[in-house]
Amino acid sequence: ETDTLKTDDNMIIGGDLNMDDGNITNILRSVYNITGCTEDSVEGTVCWNSDYYTLNIVTGLGNVIQVGQELTGVGKNKQGTAITAGQVVFVNDSQGEMPVIYLADASDGNKIHSPAVVTIPTCNNNAACPVTTFGFVHGLNTSMWSEGDDLYITSDGSGDLTNVPATFPNYNVHMGTVIRSHASSGIILVLPEIDYGNGVTINSLGVVNNLTVLGEVQSYRYRFLNGNNASYMKIADSDWIGVNQAIITGNNENLAKGEITNLNYARENVTLSWQQFGKNNSYGGWGNSFGLVPNYLGIENFSTGGKVNMTQLSNYITLCDYFGVDCKFSADTRGRARDSISGVKIPGGPLLWTMGDEEIWGMSKIHEGLELEKDFLYIGDGIGDIDMYNEPLHLKIPRQENVTIGTGAIELFDINWDGEPTGLQPPTPFIETGAMSGNSNREWSTRNDVRCNSNPCARAKGANGGDIRGMDYNFTTTNVSNMNLNFWYGSDNMDVGSTDNFSVYMNNNTGSGWVLIWNDTGTSGDINPAIFKNFTVPSTMNDGSIITLRFNHQADGGEEESFVDDIRINGTVGTPTTIEVTRNDAKIELGGSTYLSTTCDIFYNDTSKITEIGVDSNCKVSLTNVSIVPTSTGGNTGTDLCIDANNEICPCGSCA
């Protein structure tokens, strides 16, 4: 026992060094055992974590802090129930010098402040709860997500994480990213931020300069006025009757004649304005009819207390009754004047209400379409004709036809061990079979090797005579068929012949037994680099509830090795389905006579995609200045077309 211990050389202490509340000072450096921590349950323990290349600090609260890889804290659980690992909490108070935490909720803007993730399996109510606000959180169940998934706070008050972004009016808070997907050893990189890419919900927004919006601006209620309140946009206006829910644009200034008070502007060929006026039995720009009413009509006939009653003025039936007009249509919002299912004509539908005839002095342009209840008759003057620009003449004769739709492709699984530590025995998610289970030098395990497609991969080494080293993986193929199995394969020191071989089997566990997919007994003993193998899966493995995939390694010595990596099975999911589709044939009738039955038609079949010309044997097509190969009667009879002396197309060998 001494007050001072000094040495100029190395000092090795086999047991513990108890300083009895003293200090170790003037340390040049401290080097930890890099083989890793062997104890992570004693509070205050500091050791080197060789898996994550940092120091572990055991807190005594059930969590271990990885120094430099996470920012942590401790909060008091006041939720009223236990909080578990992976749940998100927020700070809402303090107790003593410790913040108080509750479960976060993306539906409430007051419950997403200072979010953090709980890092111990269970934190009881009123207990100190370690949390991480930034960095890596280990030991979580992340098996329900894929690696790389972004995680968000749920909007149900549970504090759980989800890979589905919150939608308006919930708050879209991005909490982190899945680094490893695993049922018990999952890893999340916690990085709380507002997810601007999927939409943002905020309580208020002030913009000093410009606000640029590339998409839509949606609002439940808004009001805009200029500085002197002359030009305005708002909802509802007390100066008008019947507009308590209307969006109003107006101008109260004294304007010169001809000045524009309302302008909807867009570039050429873009819709400027589309409006709905009034309610049922009214006219508007969507679904109902549309009407133009002169100012004097409203002022003289539909004013109440000096204000024009917009509700009465917009009611089509009221106008018909008021002026004693026998209106043909009811304009009752029933859409077009033909039922979309039965095709039966119905009253109502869109119309232009003019209270009289329509006379057009110039050209009439109809942009959507023209529907006539009777025949269309065009009487020309012998000089003009009917021209169509930019659009084809589209003729349709609808008919129903049953067709079978196909199925879709699916990837059942893609197993690799990228990012996994070496030495996993067996390589997850496989289970191990064989006579020497537990011998880490001879069983299937994860290893780094040049024969892997990417490090690490699954490797089996050695055997004793006929012993077989196997690993199995169970999966389902419900409603899946047409499957392919592929993987990367490498080997080392494997003897060509029956003593050393690598084989792949599958079993549907309902009577098929073990079906051999591939047995490698003749490949070179050293396959480096790995080669890609692809096989068709037998149909006996289709639509199975439990299918077992097995990889076997058999050798007669201790140095033979087999390697597999990036194991995938692809297939087709779904059942062919017959559906009814609409085919649109087309027909143009040419000529015809009252006294003769001969008709020459052009007919298009939408199923075969074939256009036929002429349905009567007397119909012929005469061509001028058209080149047909061959251009003489010397073509092949029965297959080629020729042109006869009358410039008509005919089958070669049968021309006039």
Can you give the CATH number for the domain in which 535 is found?
Answer: 2.60.120.200
Instruction: Calculate the alpha carbon distances from 491 to 52, 352, 461, 498, 503 in Å.
Output: 31, 82, 10, 15, 12
Domain membership of residue 507 (yes or no) is yes
Residues 441 and 530 placed together within one structural domain of the fold: yes
pLDDT of residue 168: 78
- Written as six digits, the tokens of 573 are 């999911």
| Lowest mean per-residue pLDDT among 109-123, 147-161, 381-395 | 381-395
Q: Is 551 helix (H, G, I), strand (E, B) or coil?
A: strand
Q: Which range has the worst mean pLDDT, 173-182, 274-283, 292-301, 396-405?
A: 274-283
Tokens at 215, concatenated: 């998409």
318 vs 83: which has the higher pLDDT: 83
Residues 113, 145 share a domain: yes
Burial of 175 (0-12, 13-18, 19+ CB in 10 A): buried
Residue 590 C-alpha from the chain's centroid: 51
Do 484 and 604 fall into the same domain? no
User: Which element (helix H / strand E) includes 475?
Assistant: strand 468-475
Higher pLDDT, 120 or 222: 120
- Cβ atoms of 465 and 557 within 8 Å: the answer is no
Residue 298 falls within a domain, yes or no? yes
The model's pLDDT over 540-575, given as tens digits with 9 standing for 90+, comes to 999 899 999 999 988 877 788 899 999 999 988 877
User: DSSP per residue over 218-233, as a string?
Assistant: --SS--EE-TTSSEEE
pLDDT of res. 31? 74
Looking only at the bridges linking them, the beta strands covering 352-353 and 290-291 are: parallel
Mean pLDDT of the chain: 76
* pLDDT tens figures, 629-640: 544 545 666 566
Contact 109, 166 (CB under 8 A): no
Q: What pTM, to 2 d.p., does this model score? A: 0.36
Which neighbouring-strand residues pair with 561? 461, 492
Q: Are residues 523 and 474 in the same domain?
A: yes
CA distance 333 to 275: 14
pLDDT at position 162? 95
pLDDT of 279 over the 60 cut = no
The answer to the question of residue 478 being in a domain is yes
CA 3 to chain centre: 70
- Whether 439 and 562 map to the same domain: the answer is yes
Q: What number is the average pLDDT over the span 256-278?
A: 46
**Portion of the chain with pLDDT greater than 90, in percent:** 23
Residue 180 shares a structural domain with residue 72: yes
What are the tokens at 38?
């062997």
Q: Is residue 276 domain-resident? A: no
Cβ atoms 64, 119 nearer than 8 A: no
Of 545, 573, 601, the residue that ends a domain is: 573
- Measured distance CA(407)–CA(656) in Å, rounded: 52
**Which pLDDT score is estimated for 211?**
73
Q: Are residues 601 and 566 in the same domain?
A: no
Domain boundary among 325, 353, 381: 353
Q: Are residues 567 and 614 in the same domain?
A: no
Residue 260 lies in a domain: no
- Given a cut of 50, whether residue 528 has pLDDT beyond it is yes
pLDDT top residue among 42 and 615? 42
Q: How confident is the model at residue 469 (pLDDT cuts 50, 70, 90)?
A: confident
480/601 same-domain check: no
Domain range for 638: 588-651
Say yes or no: 645 and 527 in one domain.
Answer: no
Task: With cut-offs at 50, 70 and 90, classify the pLDDT of residue 40.
Answer: low
Among residues 201, 117, 140, the alpha carbon closest in space to that of 165 is found at 201
> What pLDDT is recorded for position 542?
92
Bigger pLDDT: 126 vs 40: 126
* Cβ-contact 385, 373 below 8 angstroms: no
Condensed to tens digits (0 to 9), the pLDDT of residues 86-113 reads 999 999 888 888 999 999 999 888 898 8
User: What pLDDT was estimated at residue 8?
Assistant: 67
Q: How confident is the model at residue 323 (pLDDT cuts 50, 70, 90)?
A: confident
Query: pLDDT band at residue 179, thresholds of 50, 70 and 90?
Result: very high
Span 331-373, pLDDT tens digits: 554 444 455 566 565 555 445 666 545 666 666 766 556 666 5
Output b/e per residue, 53-89; b: 16+ Cβ within 10 A. Answer: ebbbbbbebbbbbbeebbebebbbbebeeebebbbbb
- Name the domain boundary from 179, 198, 217: 198
Give the mean model confidence (pLDDT) for residues 453-466. 82
3-state secondary structure of 541: helix
267-294 average pLDDT score? 46
Domain assignment present for 25: no
What pLDDT does 196 receive?
Answer: 59
Distance CA 552, CA 530 (A): 17
Residue 319 counted as domain residue: yes
First to last CA, the chain: 130
With 80 as the cut, is the pLDDT of residue 46 above it? yes
What CATH number is given to the structural domain containing 128?
2.40.300
Residue 120 lies in a domain: yes
| Count: domains in the chain | 4
Write out the two tokens for 433.
């079979």
Task: Compute the distance between CA of residue 175 and CA of residue 153 in angstroms, rounded to an integer.
Answer: 7
- Do 554 and 416 belong together in one domain? yes
Do 478 and 424 reside in the same domain of the chain? yes
Percent of the chain whose predicted confidence (pLDDT) is above 70: 64
| Cβ contact 65:141 at 8 Å | no
- Please tell me the distance from the alpha carbon of residue 187 to that of residue 88, in angstroms, as a whole number: 15
What is residue 294's predicted lDDT score, i.e. its pLDDT? 67
Contacts 24+ apart (CB under 8 A), 30-39: none
